[in-house]
Amino acid sequence: MPTKPNLIFIGIDSLRADHMSLYGYNRLTTPHIDKFAAGGTTYNWNFSPHIPTTSGYGAMLTGMDCITTGLVALRHKGDIAPGIKTLPEILREQGYVSSCVGFKGNPAARGFDSYIDFEGWGSWEKGRAHKAENLNKVTIPELKRLAGQDKPFFLFMRHMDPHSPYLPPLPFERAFYGKNELAPGNDSMKPVFQFKPFCDYFATWMPPGITDKDYVIAQYDGAVAYMDSCIASIFASIAALGLADNSLVILTSDHGETLYDHDCYFDHHGLYEPTLRIPLVFRMPGRVPAGKRICTYNTQMNATPTILDLLGVKTGIKFDGTSLAPEMNGAWRTPNTEFYITECTWMRKHGWRTPQWKYIHALEPDFHFKPEIELYNLVDDPTESVNLADKEPALVAMFEQRMLAWIARREKETGRRAPIYDNLHWHGSKDVPGPFASSQQAYDTLHIGDPDAARRLQADALKK
pLDDT digits (tens, 9 = 90+) for 253-284: 999 999 999 999 999 999 999 999 999 999 99
Average pLDDT, the chain: 94
Report how far residue 226's alpha carbon sits from residue 249's, in angstroms, rounded to the nearest whole number: 20
pLDDT for 449 equals: 73
- Cβ 409 vs Cβ 56: under 8 Å: no
212 pLDDT exceeds 90?
Answer: yes
Which residues 6+ apart lie within 8 Å of 397 measured at CB?
none
Give the torsion sign (CA, 226, 231, 300, 348): negative
Q: Is the peptide bond before 197 cis (omega within 30 degrees of 0)?
A: no
Amino acid at 447: H
Helix (H, G, I), strand (E, B) or coil at 301: helix
Indicate where the chain has its CATH 3.30.1120.10 domain(s): 339-454
Residue (of 33, 13, 14) closest to 23 by Cα position? 33
The CATH number of domain 6-196+214-334, selected from 3.40.720.10, 2.60.40.10, 3.20.20.120, 3.40.50.11540: 3.40.720.10
DSSP result, 373-410: EEEEETTT-TT-----TTT-HHHHHHHHHHHHHHHHHH
- Banded model confidence at residue 217, pLDDT cuts 50, 70, 90: very high
- Banded model confidence at residue 373, pLDDT cuts 50, 70, 90: very high
119 pLDDT exceeds 70?
Answer: yes
Strand partners, 100: 115, 156
For range 71-95, the mean pLDDT: 93
Strand partners, 343: 51, 349
End-to-end CA distance of the chain: 40
pLDDT for 1 equals: 54
Higher per-residue pLDDT: 336 or 168: 168
User: If one looks up domain 339-454 in CATH, what number appears?
Assistant: 3.30.1120.10
Query: Which stretches of 153-211 are assigned E, i.e. beta strand?
Result: 153-159
Indicate where the chain has its CATH 3.40.720.10 domain(s): 6-196+214-334
Report how far residue 420's alpha carbon sits from residue 417's, in angstroms, rounded to the nearest whole number: 9
- Cβ 78 vs Cβ 108: under 8 Å: no
Helix (H, G, I), strand (E, B) or coil at 163: coil
- Banded model confidence at residue 31, pLDDT cuts 50, 70, 90: very high
What is the per-residue pLDDT across 33-78, written as a single tens digit (0 to 9) for each?
A: 999 999 999 999 999 999 999 999 999 999 999 999 999 988 888 8
